[in-house]
Amino acid sequence: MNDLQVATQELRDLGTRLTTLCDRLKSADGRASYGKEHLAHEDVVDAMDKFRKNWDDNRDHLADKLLKLGELATETANGFEEADEKLAAELVKAIKEAKKEP
């Protein structure tokens, strides 16, 4: 297990990118102006309205999941760095104590 390596900066970058993507999805209005005169038939207008509503709902759901994933990536990086720092401190402490012993 001594060869475990984690690219924490890459995890942080991933967290940032996912959070940015979430923000962009949530800020996208997705509104389009169209009517029967543009789409030629009321059934097409109804289908487009249904699609837009589903897309709005699913876009929000996707954005929420991306935000959570971004947060988890950052938290994972923090956890590995904290563990690494604690292990390094314990190792330094053990080496110092070993040098004190006759």
Assess if residue 4 is contained within a domain. no
Q: Give pLDDT tens digits for 22-75.
A: 888 888 665 555 555 656 677 777 787 788 788 878 888 899 999 999 999 999
Assess if residue 90 is contained within a domain. yes
- Whole-model pTM: value is 0.69
- Give the domain extent around 65: 9-100
Assess if residue 1 is contained within a domain. no
Assess if residue 2 is contained within a domain. no
Assess if residue 3 is contained within a domain. no
Lowest mean pLDDT among 13-17, 42-46, 80-84: 42-46
**How far apart are the C-alpha atoms of 37 and 63, rounded to whole Å?**
33
Domains of the chain: total: 1
Assess if residue 58 is contained within a domain. yes
